[in-house]
Amino acid sequence: MASARFDVLGIGNAIVDVIARTDDAFLAQQKMRKGTMQLIDEARAAKLYDAMGPAVEVSGGSAANTIVGVASLGARAAFIGKVKDDELGRVFAHDIRAAGVAFATPPASAGPSTACCYVLVTPDGERTMNTYLGAAQDLHPNDIDADAITAAQIIYLEGYLWDPPRAKEAFLKAAKIAHAAERDVALTLSDAFCVDRYRLEFLELIRAGTVDLVFANERELHSLYETADFDTALNALRSDARLGVVTRSEKGCLVVTREQTQAIPASPVERLVDATGAGDLFAAGFLTGLSRGTDYRTAARLGAVVAAEVIQHLGARPETSLKALAQDNGFDL
């Protein structure tokens, strides 16, 4: 197997987050289900933006957030995702490259505008997301750079990509190229409603070995196996997946293999401000650890440390050097 040029390459929706604080009454008024993500059209996006309070714009997208975290940890990171050649598209491209991520996907010159996610954060730190996919859903198999895929040790894919048909094809093409090059493929299930839409297809990806590692939170795991019993769902994951990681908020996470389940505690936080990006940054730590050859427990501990950083401020991107934070916590990166 050839040596890798990148430690982790992510493929996902290239989105600019528009983040505002709100309360439960506003969510009810807007008929939103707290803590979930729903897809919206351009007209709904405009109405929602008008109704929201003061907002902060920051480049986002689930896999992109993870890859920025990987770069902040000092690992070699790359990202594939589609933006339009418009103002927000240029913002996204600038931000992700400034974070140290290789990003070479050509922008679209026509078609829908760059994707936006309207993130509403309630006082308890929970986030409710409304996503206009725009140009992101036009990711095409032709956008998959085979040389970049084969040059990455781990390919990381987000479940949200399963919504647009051509992005789904791009996802499968990337996984096939990665495995032909003896690289590992990881998938995050992204959202319980995403799992509801594509449960059988996700299960087939896991059972067929199209993905080697699957990330899920408790809600997504229950949705995947259509059971309210956590142990039943966990046993099913153990049977299906080569490696699974289940995040459980303040209860930490479980690393699940066919042979054993390891429980790793969450890192302490002084104050939960915004849960946006907690799972994304946990994945950044875990994948970085994995790419550096650490054991699963150490990788999960690193994930917990960087997830704790991101939930103590607004937004899903780190506000400090994660490499320095990891070193302060005893990790040798």
For 35-76, write each residue's pLDDT tens digit.
888 989 989 998 999 999 898 888 888 999 999 999 999 999
Lowest mean pLDDT among 84-88, 162-166, 278-282, 302-306: 162-166
Average of per-residue pLDDT values in the chain? 93
Please compute the mean of the pLDDT values over residues 149-154 and round it to a whole number: 97
Q: How many CA atoms lie within 13 A of 3 on its CB side?
A: 3
d(CA 138, CA 214): 25
With a CB cutoff of 8 Å and minimum separation 6, the contacts of 146 are: 177
CB count within 10 Å of CB 3 equals 6
**Beta-strand (E) ranges in the chain?**
6-11, 15-21, 37-39, 56-60, 77-80, 101-103, 115-121, 127-132, 152-158, 184-188, 213-217, 243-247, 253-257, 261-264
Comparing 46 with 282, which gets the higher pLDDT?
282
Please compute the mean of the pLDDT values over residues 192-214 and round it to a whole number: 96
pLDDT digits (tens, 9 = 90+) for 17-31: 888 999 999 999 999
d(CA 295, CA 307): 18
pTM here? 0.90
83 DSSP 8-state letter: -
Q: How confident is the model at residue 2 (pLDDT cuts 50, 70, 90)?
A: low
The 3-state DSSP class for residue 215 equals strand
Residue 315 has a pLDDT of: 74
pLDDT greater than 70 at residue 1? no
Residue 317 has a pLDDT of: 83
Cα 55 to Cα 10, 196, 207, 248, distances in angstroms: 27, 30, 42, 29
SS3 content of the chain, % helix, strand, coil (to 5): 45, 20, 35
5 DSSP 8-state letter: S
Please compute the mean of the pLDDT values over residues 104-131 and round it to a whole number: 92
pLDDT greater than 80 at residue 3? no
The 3-state DSSP class for residue 4 equals coil
Q: List the CATH code of the domain at 6-12+61-113+135-328.
A: 3.40.1190.20
The answer to whether 241 touches 224, Cβ cutoff 8 Å, is: no
Cα 146 to Cα 58, 150, 188, distances in angstroms: 29, 6, 21
**Beta-strand (E) ranges in 12-98?**
15-21, 37-39, 56-60, 77-80
With a CB cutoff of 8 Å and minimum separation 6, the contacts of 25 are: none
- Residue 284: closest CA among 215, 227, 211: 215
Torsion of CA 166, 79, 187, 37, to 10 degrees: -70
List phi, psi (to 5°) of 244: -130, 145
Q: How confident is the model at residue 314 (pLDDT cuts 50, 70, 90)?
A: confident
Residue 316 has a pLDDT of: 75
% of the chain beyond a pLDDT of 90: 79
pLDDT greater than 80 at residue 242? yes
